[in-house]
Amino acid sequence: MAKIIGLGAWFPSNIRVNSDWSEEFTSAFGDRSKRDLVDITSHGLYTDIDDFSLQNMEREKSDPFIGSVERRVMDPDMPAYQAEVYAGQQAIDQAGIDPNRIGAVFSFSSANDRVNIASAPIVAEKLGIKNALACEINGACSSNIVQISIATALITTGEAEFVLLVQSNIMSRGVPMGHPASPGIGDCATAILVGPDSGPGHRILNTYSRSHGEYWDAVIWKRKGDESQNWYEPGGGFYLGSNDPAKTRELIQITGKAGCDTVVAALDEIGLTTNDLNFFVTMQPRKWIPVAITKLLGLKDNQTIETYEKYAHLGGCGPVVNLLEAVNNGLVKDGDIVALYAQGAGFTRTASIIKW
């Protein structure tokens, strides 16, 4: 086993509010054909959708801001790796360890500074970590929990004493203000430091992950201009879009059930049930999703947390931000059993069970 011994989160100071969008943007929301990634209609409705999710999707039909109020936006001149360095430093400082005892650094950057080049090596360099493997672990928005799983294995087998996990969601660079999904996207970086079970911290009891390739084309990077163009061919700028809008809609529609099923499976593997859960933490592609999954788990609404109106969707950083928010507000206490859930494009769903 292993333990979480440090957490960090960094946010840009620039706050973008709903009034920053033009009237043309809000009026264009009425055209369903222009709702790339936010086509939240009942068309092609998944048959097992829960009533709470359905009600909230119906409310979002007429809201161009899909429930968001504020979001943080990073300076375009700042590299993504620098945000990860700031978050990583917080996690190391919280744990109070020598950086050279860290044996591995895993990164995930939603908008990498270099195509196909991980930020982990330069993050390690900037943090003074000299004796580590540094590479990318990419499960899209589920990367944080996938990273936890691999870090736990390395520590349990003695391959590393400590492992630093960093994530950044700088999606304002791939979802510009004219994009229909832009109001629901916020920038952020987070970090998790994992250490041995023999020391202080919060024990990782289990992780569980499953991938579903039928959603591989649902959320992808595209090129402006020729929509069929490969990323490595000359052409227009990149933006986040979909090659399969029906599957994109379905992903939102099944998120409640996917989250519930994944957490239940993670608990079952270690002989626990949802009755043993004290708190649930997840990402927030929509404001209502944390509560939707909580309800399906049979928990109370106050056994979860969301920060969507303040930060919007933070991608793979969302679970860490919400966990920190819950801990700082006294909602998660020592000895609590906490479930983390995340899902990422591709499509991977994953959960981690932690004894706080």
Q: How far apart are the first and last CA of the chain?
A: 14
Separation CA 337–CA 274 (nearest Å): 10
User: Hey, is 159 helix, strand or coil?
Assistant: coil
pLDDT band at 37 (very low <50, low <70, confident <90, very high): low
Instruction: List, for residues 118-163, the tens digit of each pLDDT value.
Output: 999 999 999 999 999 999 999 999 999 999 999 999 999 999 999 9
Sheet with 348-355, side-by-side order of all strands: 133-136, 102-109, 162-169, 188-196, 2-10, 202-211, 348-355, 337-344, 279-282
3-state secondary structure of 11: coil
Work out whether strand 188-196 and strand 202-211 pair parallel, antiparallel, or are unpaired: unpaired
Per-domain boundaries in the chain? 2-13+73-200, 50-67+205-355
Q: CA-to-CA distance for 103 and 113, rounded, in angstroms?
A: 24
Structure-block tokens of residue 272 = 């626990």
Tell me yes or no: is domain 2-13+73-200 CATH 3.40.47.10.
Answer: yes
157: which 2 tokens?
């087998």
Q: What is the pLDDT of residue 199?
A: 87
Cα(161)–Cα(145) distance, rounded to whole angstroms?
A: 19
- Give CA separation, 95 vs 92, 102, 237, in Å: 5, 12, 41
CA–CA separation, 258 and 243 (whole Å): 22
Topology match between the domains 2-13+73-200 and 50-67+205-355: yes
CA distance 223 to 88: 32
Q: Which of 335, 224, 230 is nearest to 276 (CA)?
A: 335
217: CB partners within 8 A, 6+ apart = 242, 243, 244, 247
182 pLDDT exceeds 60?
yes
Quick one: pLDDT band at residue 33, thresholds 50, 70, 90?
A: low
Conformational region of residue 193, where left means phi above 0, alpha means psi within -120 to 50, and beta covers everything else: beta
CATH for the 50-67+205-355 domain, from 3.40.47.10, 3.90.550.10, 3.40.50.300, 3.40.50.850: 3.40.47.10
pTM: 0.94
**pLDDT one-digit tens code per residue, 288-335:** 999 999 999 999 999 999 999 999 999 999 999 999 999 999 999 999
